[in-house]
Amino acid sequence: MIFERKINYYETDGMRVVHHSNYIRFLEEARCDMLEKMGVSYKTIEQEGLMIPVLEVQCEYKHPARFEDTIQIALKFKEFTGVKMTIAYEITNKEDGKLVVKAETKHCFTNAQLRPVHLKKVKPEWYEIFMEYSKG
């Protein structure tokens, strides 16, 4: 899946490039967009008493993005077990195709008390959707 967004001025720093912390936000925007496209929005997930907290984030900064650049975030499942998932991201500059960031986020599915749950047991229809998308 591809998520696209334009860089806002307030997301840049004194060097006129995107501040490194904003890429974590961009990953989350792309992830929420992906869930929505899958038909299982984060809002719906929370309404059902489930959460998908972030366990780990790994980013490699390759090339700076700047104000008014349009970036494209390609994301795909690297791993999905029903309890945990890992998503891989590649952020590129739409105009020149340069790789901006390579990243991964690791997550687990939990109940409202943040106890891990197996999606297959608590929401089998969602488990099937996630399985389908994780196959690529």
Helix (H), strand (E), coil (C) string for the chain: CEEEEECCHHHECCCCEECCCHHHHHHHHHHHHHHHHHCCCHHHHHHCCEECCEEEEEEEECCCCECCCEEEEEEEEEEECCCEEEEEEEEEECCCCCEEEEEEEEEECEECCCCECCHHHHCHHHHHHHHHHHCC
What is the residue range of 115's domain?
2-134
79-128 pLDDT, tens digit each: 999 999 999 999 999 999 999 999 999 999 999 999 999 999 999 999 99
Catalytic hit among 13, 33, 69, 96: 13
Predicted pLDDT of residue 51: 97
Number of domains in the chain: 1
- The reported pTM is 0.94
Is 33 catalytic? The answer is no
- Euclidean distance between CA atoms 33 and 39, whole angstroms: 10
Q: What is the CATH number of the domain that holds 105?
A: 3.10.129.10
